[in-house]
Structure 1
Amino acid sequence: MIETVRKYNNFTWYHVSNLTTEDNQILVSEHQLTNEIIGYAVDHNEAVRMEYDNEADESLMVIDVISYHESTVETRPIGILFAHGDLYTFSHSVTDYIQAVLLDPKNRQKRENDNEISAIDFVMTGLYSLMTRYVAQVSEINRKRRVIQTQLGRHKRTTKQMNDLLRLQTQTIYIQNSLANNHVMLDAFKQDFKTEVAHFEVEHIDDVRVEVGQAEHMADLAMAVINSVSDAYGNLSNRDLNWTMKVLTVYSIVLTVPTIVSGFYGENVKWLPFATSQDGWWISIVITLLLMAIVSLVLALSGFFRR
């Protein structure tokens, strides 16, 4: 769907959500956009980058933003196209919220009034709010990690806790990768447009870059802590496994004694002690228990029962 969101003095903003074939034809025939640049803008797997077509007067920014799902949070690319003096934004269902954010960016930047604002400054003030969502998401990941971490020494470790921790690691990897790519792209954007924009607009670009850098630092720190907690879980699990194997080994050694004793007496060998005694059965049991106690004592003195 193509929506004419707002007309400013310096540009008109069009928002394209869930592009259809008919929408593509309209953009090509009526807006004189190229199929190539449209394909880049709506590609779900497009890499974060700047794409230019000087002949067609098109400059495309592909940037990752947070995408919200029912059970997890990931990142998805959106397209921001400067073409023929107008602005086009491209999104999908999970990123369609960007329209509301660009219309009402709640950040510390002072935006020019609608009569004077340029397309680049409009985008940058909106991107600032979009990038702050990375900080909020990293903070949420840290909160969930702390919940898991507090259970480390209080409750028995479960598969669910390990799966939750793995899910946080996966989300953080997405965020780290997206932030790193966004940072590189914004550096390239500033370098390419610094001679074409006003000084205060360059400052707004720098504000977005600083916000991305802060979020990137937080994500790196969050991943380091998550990895440490994950390693701690792994070490504790290995310790529990070693203890289990040690106990099973001790049991197997102790339970070998009855087999040895019963094996001797089961061979009907002459002259075995108490073999011909009427109470030989009970005596063999006493001998077995005595030997088992001796073996257990030796293992205990050797430290096998220390966890």
Structure 2
Amino acid sequence: MINEIVLNQNIKLIDIHSTKTLNDEDRTQLIEKYKLTNEILDYADDENERARFEYDEITDTYLIVFNVQNENNKITDISQRVLPISLAIKDEQIFLFTNDATHYIKDYILIAKNHLKDDESKELWEYIFNTFDQISNDYSDQINETDVQRNKIQKMIKKHHSSESQILDLADLEDLTTYLTTAINDNLSVARQLDLVSSGKVQSLHLSKTTREHLNDSLVEIEQIKNQVDLSSDVIDRISNTYNNILNNRTNTTMKVLTIYTIVLSIPTIVSGFYGMNMKLPIADQRWSWVFSLIITIVIILVILWDLHRRDSL
């Protein structure tokens, strides 16, 4: 479905919303009416496309692939929590390619329309950079939510209330921060490319002074999000390693206790085994011989426990 939305007198938003991929009718319309190339559409329609920035000199079209979060944050497949959207910029038109899980990005562009000043609203790239800011805020909220979940698990570990579900939750957090880290790093790369291009060192991208400053602010914001997710990921990794060390220590303690019990309980078996043999043994024919065997057993047990304590094995 293709909808045209007027952002101001000169700039239009072309909202291309697909359930999953572009249908043939939309693709034909974008090529014939809006003069987009098949190459641009292939990039925009690829749900596995990495974040990137491209410029087609022949058609004077900019393409931005940017990573955003899935609108359904309860989805069980963590690999689908971060998805790409595409923005094509051509002839004062912004082409937004989204699916059902990412169509909320259209609202961010419309929010930018309402918040921009009159002089800023004339700048097409202001809508793009405002959208970047909104996406960065989403990532910051997600990282904060991840930190809250991590703190809950950490408190349970300190209280020795660990369980299999906590191990699985911690593994999910590790996977999620990995996807977030990759997505944010790719977005940062796109922002840096835009900054490089706008400086005129590679190719021409004419931005006003205000818009250029906004791009720099957006770049700084993404870098801060990157540092935030790196820190969160590092803390989760450390907690995971600590958890593994605790579990290993508990296993070692259990094996140590079982070994001591095995040694101690084998002594009565050895002593009674001697006195149960069909052969002559000292004082075996006395009435109090069983008491004597108990005394021997207790003495040997005490000697072994003392030796283990001396070796710091208890």
TM-score, normalising length: structure 1: 0.88
Provide the C-alpha distance between the structure 1 equivalents of 2:99 and 2:108, rounded to a whole number of angstroms: 15
| Partner Cα distance (1:192, 1:115) in 2 | 20
Q: Show the counterpart of 1:223.
A: 233
2:190 to 181, 185, 194: 185
Deviates more, 1:292-301 or 1:143-152: 292-301
Give the structure 2 partner of residue 123 of structure 1: 128
Q: 1:80 aligns with which of 70, 79, 87?
A: 87
Provide the residue aligned with 2:211 in structure 1. Answer: 201
Measured after TM superposition, the shift of residue 106 of structure 1 is 10
Determine if the alignment matches structure 1 residue 299 to structure 2 residue 311: no
Name the amino acid aligned to 2:88. Answer: L
Post-superposition Cα deviations, 1:50-87, rounded to whole Å, max 9, x if no partner, equal: 12222123211011112243246722111000124311
Deviations 1:159-184 (A, max 9, x none): 22222222222211111111111111
Q: Deviation string for 1:246-289 (max 9, x for gaps)?
A: 1011112112213322433344233x224344565565455434
SS in 2 for 1:196: coil
User: CA contact under 8 A between 2:113 and 2:121: conserved in structure 1?
Assistant: no
| 1:128 CA drift (Å) | 1.1
Residue 80 of structure 1 aligns to which amino acid in structure 2? L
Tell whether 2:160 aligns with 1:159. no
Structure 1 segment 162-177 matched on structure 2, within 5 A: 162-177=167-182
Q: What letter corresponds to residue 54 of structure 2 in structure 1?
A: E
Give 2:63's aligned amino acid.
Answer: L
TM-score (norm 2): 0.86
- In structure 2, the partner of 1:149 is 154
Q: Percent identity?
A: 31
- 1:237 partnered with 2:247: yes
* Greater alpha carbon shift after TM alignment, 152-161 vs 174-183: 152-161
Aligned-CA RMSD value: 2.5
Of stretches 184-193 and 26-35 in structure 1, the one that deviates more from structure 2 is 26-35
Change (3 A) 1:191 1:123: same
The residue number in structure 2 matching 1:16 is 16
Q: Is structure 2 residue 4 aligned with structure 1 residue 4?
A: yes
What is aligned with 1:48?
51
Give the direction of change, closer, same or farther, for the CA distance of 1:149–1:137 in structure 2 (3 Å limit): same
Most deviating of 186-195 and 175-184: 186-195
Q: Following the alignment from structure 1 to structure 2, what is the Cα–Cα distance between the partners of residues 142 and 165? A: 11
SS in 2 for 1:13: strand
Q: Distance in 2 between matches of 1:235 and 1:280?
A: 50
Across the two proteins, how many residue pairs are aligned to each other?
A: 302
Q: Give, in angstroms, the shift of residue 209 of structure 1.
A: 0.6
What residue number does 2:110 align with? 103
Conserved 8 A contact 1:66-1:75: yes
Say if 1:9 and 1:116, in contact at 8 Å, map to a contact too: no
Aligned residues of 1:111 and 1:117 also touching (Cα < 8 A) = no
Question: Residue 94 in 1 paired to residue 101 in 2?
Answer: yes
Residue segments in structure 2 that go unaligned for 5+ positions in a row: 200-204
Residues 22 and 263 of structure 1: CA distance in aligned 2, closer, same or farther (over 3 Å): farther
Verify: 1:288 aligned to 2:304, yes or no. no
In 1, Cα distance between the equivalents of 2:283 and 2:278? 12
2:106 partner SS: helix
Q: Is the 8 A contact 2:150 2:170 kept in 1?
A: yes
In the other structure, the counterpart of 1:60 is 63
Q: Secondary structure at the match of 1:93?
A: coil
